[in-house]
Amino acid sequence: MLIDFRAVPADTRIEADVCVIGAGAAGITLALELHASNLEVCLLESGGVQFSPETQDLARGVSFQVGWPYQKLEATRIRTFGGTTTVWDGACVPCTGIDFEKRDWVPHSGWPITRASLDPYYTRAEAVCELGAGEYGAELWGRFGQPSDAFDRDKLDVRFWRYSPTRFGARYGDEIRRSKNIRLYLFANVTHLRANEAGSAIDEIEVETLDGNRGTVAARAYVLATGGIENARLLLNASDVEPAGLGNRHDLVGRYFMEHSYYQSGFLVSEDLERLMQRYDHMQRGPLHVLAGVRLADSVQRRERTLDCCSLLDDRFHRDNPGVIATRRILQDIRYGQMSPELGNKIYDILSNLDAVLMAGIGAAVHGDSRHYEEKGVPVFTQAEQAPNPSNRVFLEPERDPLGLQRVSLDWRLGELDRRTIEVAVKQVGSEFARLGLGRVRIADWTLEADDSGWRSGLHWGHHHMGTTRMSDDPKTGVVNADCRMHSVHNLYVASSSVFPTGGYANPTLTIVALAIRLADHLRSELASRAVDLSGSDRGSAGALRG
Report the nearest approach of other proteins to the CB of residue 438 (Å).
Answer: 11
Given 60, 318, 427, 460, the residue binding other proteins (CB under 8 A): 427
Where does this chain touch other proteins (CB under 8 A) — which range of 22-30, 92-100, 338-346, 437-445?
Answer: 437-445
**What DSSP state is assigned to residue 466?**
B
CB of 442 to other proteins, least distance (A): 4
Of residues 11, 240, 271, 274, which one binds other proteins by CB under 8 A? 271
Residue 385 half-sphere exposure toward CB, CA atoms < 13 A = 30
Residue closer to other proteins by CB (options 155, 420) is 155
Contact in structure between 21 and 205 (CB atoms under 8 Å): yes
- Considering only 323, 430, 467, 503, the residue that binds other proteins (CB under 8 A) is 430
- Could you count the other beta carbons within 10 Å of the beta carbon of residue 524? 18
Q: Distance between CA atoms of 239 and 247, rounded to whole angstroms?
A: 10
- Which of 272, 265, 277 is CA-nearest to residue 376? 272
Among 269, 277, 288, 343, binds other proteins (CB under 8 A): 269
User: Using the rule CB under 8 A, which residue among 445, 452, 473, 474 binds other proteins?
Assistant: 445
Rg (alpha carbons) of the chain, rounded to whole number:
23
Task: Please report how close the Cβ of residue 498 comes to other proteins at its closest, in angstroms.
Answer: 38
Nearer to other proteins, 282 or 440 (CB): 440
What are the distances in angstroms from CA 229 to CA 80, 136, 507?
A: 16, 29, 17
Binding mask 356-395 for other proteins (x = CB under 8 A): --------------------xx------------------
- Residue of 225, 126, 221 whose CA lies nearest to 524: 221
Q: Least distance from C-beta 49 to other proteins, angstroms? A: 50
> Which stretch, 284-292, 343-351, 426-434, 478-486, contacts other proteins (CB under 8 A)?
426-434
Of the pair 70, 267, the CB lying nearest other proteins is at 267
Q: Quickly list DSSP for 229-255.
A: HHHHHHHHH--SSSTT-TT-TTS-TTB
From the list 137-145, 234-242, 261-269, 272-280, the region that binds other proteins by CB under 8 A is: 261-269
Can you state the angle between helices 25-35 and 115-128, rounded to 10 degrees? Answer: 90
Contact range with other proteins by CB under 8 A, out of 247-255, 423-431, 479-487, 511-519: 423-431
Measured from the CB atom, is 122 or 263 closer to other proteins?
Answer: 263
What secondary structure does DSSP assign to 321-341, as a single string? -HHHHHHHHHHHHHHTT-PPT
Quick check: 260 and 385 in contact, CB under 8 A?
A: yes
- Using DSSP's 3-state secondary structure scheme, residue 447 falls into helix
CB of 99 to other proteins, least distance (A): 24
Binding segment (CB under 8 A) for other proteins, from list 81-89, 132-140, 265-273, 291-299:
265-273
Quote the least distance from Cβ 266 to other proteins, whole Å: 8
CA-to-CA distance for 65 and 60, rounded, in angstroms?
Answer: 13
> For 492, phi and psi rounded to 5 degrees?
-120, 125
Q: Which stretch binds other proteins (CB under 8 A): 186-194, 233-241, 316-324, 424-432?
A: 424-432
Torsion of CA 344, 327, 65, 235, to 10 degrees: 90
Give the x-and-dash track for 309-338 against other proteins (CB under 8 A).
------------------------------
Contacting residue, 135, 152, 401, 483, with other proteins by CB under 8 A: 152
Q: Collect all residues with Cβ–Cβ distance below 8 Å to 324 and sequence separation of at least 6.
A: 353, 356, 357, 360, 370
Stretch binding other proteins (CB under 8 A), from 4-12, 427-435, 499-507, 512-520: 427-435
Which of 59, 360, 443, 513 binds other proteins (CB under 8 A)? It is 443
Nearer CB in complex with other proteins: 197/451: 451
How many Cα atoms are found within 13 Å in the side-chain-facing hemisphere of 484? 29
The single residue among 278, 321, 431, 477 that binds other proteins, judged by CB under 8 A, is 431
Q: Angle 89-394-245 (CA atoms, 0-180°, nearest 5)?
A: 125
Interface with other proteins includes 532 (CB under 8 A)? no
Q: Is 432 in the site for other proteins (CB under 8 A)?
A: yes
Residue 192 φ then ψ, to 5°: -160, 140
C-alpha to C-alpha distance for 519 and 540, rounded to whole angstroms: 20
**Does residue 281 bind other proteins (CB under 8 A)?**
no
Residue type, position 267, single letter: F
Binding site for other proteins (CB under 8 A): 152, 155, 266-267, 269, 271, 376-377, 427, 430-432, 434-435, 440-445, 447-448
